[in-house]
Structure formats: C-alpha cells, structure tokens
C-alpha cells in the first residue's frame, strides 16, 4: 500500500499542486490536502497518455521562446484584426510543412505555436509525424511561410529538444 | 486609485473589447469554416488577455494582494485555444467541409 504513494512524474505533480493552491484562493490546510491528492491521482490516471519524455536540453531558452511567441501573438492579432476589418477577400491556402522535429511533444509545441501566431492554424499531423498541415488565412507565397516557421520557431525548438 | 492607473485600465479594457469584437465580426465576415477558425485563436486570445491584465492590476491594487487566478485563466486559454482549433480543423476535414474557391492547396483526411 505505502509503495504506491510515490509520484511517478514529479514535475507534473508539482505543477498540479501549485495550480491547485492558486485556484483555491490562498493556501490553507484543506487546499494542501486536496492539492496533494490531485498531484498524486492525476499523473496516475493520465500515465498512459504521456509520450516518452523527450531529452529537454537548455531549458533556460524556453523563457526567450515564450517571450518571442507572446510578441508574435500580439502582432498576429493586429494583423488578423486588420484583415477582418478591411474590405477585400483573404487568400487562404493549405500548406504541407515538412517537419524536422521528431519528438511528439516538441511537434505539439510547434503546432500550438503555429496556431497562436500570424494567420496560421495547424490542422493535422501526418501519421508518420513527418508532415504538418497548416491552414493559412492570407498568404501569397507558401514558401515564405514555411521559411518563417522553420527559422523562427522550429530551429529554436530543435535546439531545446534534440 | 490614481488617475493614471484608471486611464491605463480603461485603455486595456477598451483594447480587449475591441479585439474580442473584431474576432466576432471575423466569424460573421470570413468566407468559410477554415478561415473562421482564425478568429477565436488569435483576436480573442489578445482580447481576453488584455481584459485579464486589467482585472489583475485592478484587484491587485484595490485588495493589496496579487491575485493569481487571472494569470491561470490566460495560461489555460493559451494552452487550450490551439488544441480546440486543431480538433475542429481535423473534424472539418474528416466530414469534408467545403472551402472557398480562392483556397489553394487541399486539406487531407487520413
């Protein structure tokens, strides 16, 4: 019984615990007990869904990456808003983006980044994890979008995950 | 609360409202399902973000303690918006939703 009381994923457990403390509006006895229970139970229940943990090198680069993405979200929103509010029809296009990243977690991070930034939504990943289908709202040159993603985001993720 | 802070909060709220409204107009104006996906993932993220920052500042100043819930709302929003957009796009390709005639390239379904 007691040997089951461990935390197989310490990072996830810690995050869950902290998030619960923040959600429950101040640390109290009850919130600590509840937080510990959740930190123990949730990693256990979701264990099967977690892909192999990738080698995560240079974690300090993550802060810079998040800043870059935040800045791009702001410029993306302004660009999309301008497109919505000005007359004239957008030129949408589906782009197949050849992935260099191999790790599933890194690919999902790239896909999320693409969805949050300028005029692009990632729609699907091919079964062999080699192609990412992107829908772009207003693009003239597909190659330019691919180059931007490759140089701006994927190269940085490659540094961190491979 | 001093006046400079009030002006800052008003600007943040107006910005947030403007981008949320633009996202809603986008839903009505854009030509097909795939282009409409772009509204909620971007314009709205920034809109809600601005409103949350103003709420964070207001309650931190009036109650004198930092209120972390707003930061969590933003984190969850940024984590979930791309996932839901991705699922909707996949579902749309699966049932073969039509694109506008201007669209180049094709979606795939596997």
Instruction: For residue A80, give the nearest of B38, B81, B108 by CB distance.
Output: B38
What's the token pair of residue B14?
């107006």
Tell me, yes or no, whether A56 lies in a domain: no
Distance between CA atoms of residues A112 and B76, nearest Å = 13
- A19 in a structural domain: yes
Q: What is the pTM of this model?
A: 0.77
Is A28 among the domain residues? yes
Residue A54 lies in a domain: no
Which residues, including other chains, have CB under 8 Å from residue A98's CB and lie 6 or more apart? A130, A131, A146
Reply yes or no on whether the pLDDT at B14 is more than 90.
yes
Residue A118 pLDDT: 63
Q: In this structure, is residue A98 part of a structural domain? A: yes
Shared-domain flag, residues A43 and A66? no
**Chain-chain contact of A73 with B42 (C-beta, under 8 angstroms):** yes
Do A16 and A66 belong together in one domain? Answer: no
ipTM surpasses cut 0.85:
no
Query: How many distinct structural domains can be found in chain A?
Result: 2
Mean pLDDT by 10 residues, chain A (162 residues): 64 84 79 86 78 69 85 82 80 82 81 80 80 81 82 83 70
Same domain, A96 and A16: no
Taking the CA of residue A162 and the nearest CA in chain B, the distance in Å comes to 23
Containing structural domain, residue A100: 61-161
Does residue A81 sit in the same domain as residue A145? yes
Nearest CB neighbour to B85, from listed A77, A89, A115? A115
Whether A55 is in a domain gets the answer: no
pLDDT at A149: 83
Mutate to test the interface with A, among B38, B40, B70, B104 (most CBs of A within 10 A): B38
- A75 and A99 share a domain? yes
Q: Is B31 in contact with A74 (Cβ distance < 8 A)?
A: no
Cβ neighbours, 10 Å, residue A29: 7
- In terms of domains, do A41 and A107 share one? no
Report the run of H or E that residue B29 belongs to, with start and end.
helix B3-29
Does A143 fall in a domain? yes
């Amino acid at each position: 019984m007691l040997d089951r009381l461990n935390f197989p994923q310490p990072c996830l457990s810690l995050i869950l615990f902290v998030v619960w403390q923040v959600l429950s509006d101040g640390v109290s006895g009850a919130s600590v007990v509840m937080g510990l229970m959740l930190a123990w139970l949730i990693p256990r229940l979701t264990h099967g869904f977690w892909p192999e943990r990738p080698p995560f090198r240079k974690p300090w680069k993550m802060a810079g990456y998040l800043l870059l993405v935040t800045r791009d979200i702001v410029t993306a929103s302004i660009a999309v808003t301008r497109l919505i509010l000005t007359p004239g029809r957008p030129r949408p296009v589906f782009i197949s983006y050849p992935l260099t990243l191999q790790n599933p977690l890194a690919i999902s991070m790239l896909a999320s980044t693409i969805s949050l930034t300028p005029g692009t939504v990632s729609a699907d990943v091919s079964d062999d994890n080699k192609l990412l289908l992107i829908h772009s709202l207003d693009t003239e040159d597909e190659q330019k979008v691919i180059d931007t993603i490759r140089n701006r985001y994927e190269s940085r993720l490659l540094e961190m995950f491979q | 609360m001093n006046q400079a802070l009030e002006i800052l909060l008003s600007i943040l709220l107006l910005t947030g409202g403007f981008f949320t409204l633009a996202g809603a107009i986008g839903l009505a104006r854009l030509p097909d399902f795939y282009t409409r996906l772009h509204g909620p993932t971007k314009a709205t993220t920034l809109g809600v973000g601005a409103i949350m920052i103003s709420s964070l500042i207001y309650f931190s100043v009036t109650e004198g303690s930092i209120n972390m819930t707003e930061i969590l709302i933003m984190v969850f929003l940024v984590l979930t918006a791309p996932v839901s957009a991705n699922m909707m796009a996949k579902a749309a390709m699966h049932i073969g939703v039509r694109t506008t005639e201007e669209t180049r390239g094709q979606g795939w379904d596997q």
